Chains A and B, each alone.
Chain A
Amino acid sequence: DIQLAQSPSSLSASVGDSVSISCRASQGISNYLNWFQQKPGKAPKLLIYATSTLQSGVPSRFSGSGSGIDFTLTISSLQPEDFATYYCQQTYSVPQTFGGGTKVDIK
């Protein structure tokens, strides 16, 4: 299985801050890396697919970058509705796997 190591596991930030979340794969996954936001009691919401393509309707303050094994989700100018848990996912090979999650809360 391909392991995805997400870091940090949690972070505290203020509205307006820029934050970055890292996702490192245990082997190359080309650009088959997706990012999700999840709020308590809700299903994951797709933010970015194929490393850097913004899903329709997602604000442009979310961006993704990377290749190979190292990937980053960046949220510029955090908004109150962005406080949530974020997950990366690889769909390069079976079984698909998810990172352990990064909880973003209010400082």
Chain B
Amino acid sequence: QVQLQESGPGLVRPSGTLSLTCAVSGASIRSSNWWSWVRQSPGKGLEWIGEIVHSGSTNYNPSLQSRVTMSVDKSKNLFSLDLRSVTTADTAVYYCARYTMGSSWYFPDSWGQGTLVIVSS
């Protein structure tokens, strides 16, 4: 059974960089799955941040693309998110997720529990 676990600082200063990792167990980061970050601002809906595959290929949300970098560490079976120049608007619960792809489907079937990141001075 695949499990994902987010980790990282719960508090980030404005203009700083938000850095999170997602440790994957029960599955290999080298598989054909894509690995994604999704966030949810307090009391709000869900926002897709971007995705990465083991080769390092990425897709980012254009609304965040100038500030986002994702990477994969195959030796540690984890993937990471860096979000630069954060503001209070980046305060949210950040989830990592595994996506499964088929001939006519693409869906996140496993999620981490989420980690709250607050941007505040």
Contact = CB atoms under 8 A, between A and B. Distances in A.
Contacts, number: 58
B107 A50 contact: yes
Contacts of A96: 48
Contacts of B114: 42-43
Given A43-B95, A43-B114, A87 B107 contact: no
Interface string A86-107: 0101010011111111000000
Contacts of A31: 104-105
Contacts of A94: 59, 61
Q: Is the interface of B mostly helix, strand, loop or mixed?
A: strand
* Interface size grouping (class) on chain B: 20 to 34
Interface residues of A, number: 25
The main secondary structure of chain A at its interface with chain B is: loop
B108 interface: yes
A87 B47 CA distance: 11
Interface in A41-87: 42-46, 49-50, 53, 55, 87
Interface of B: 45-48, 59-63, 95, 99, 102, 104-109, 111-114
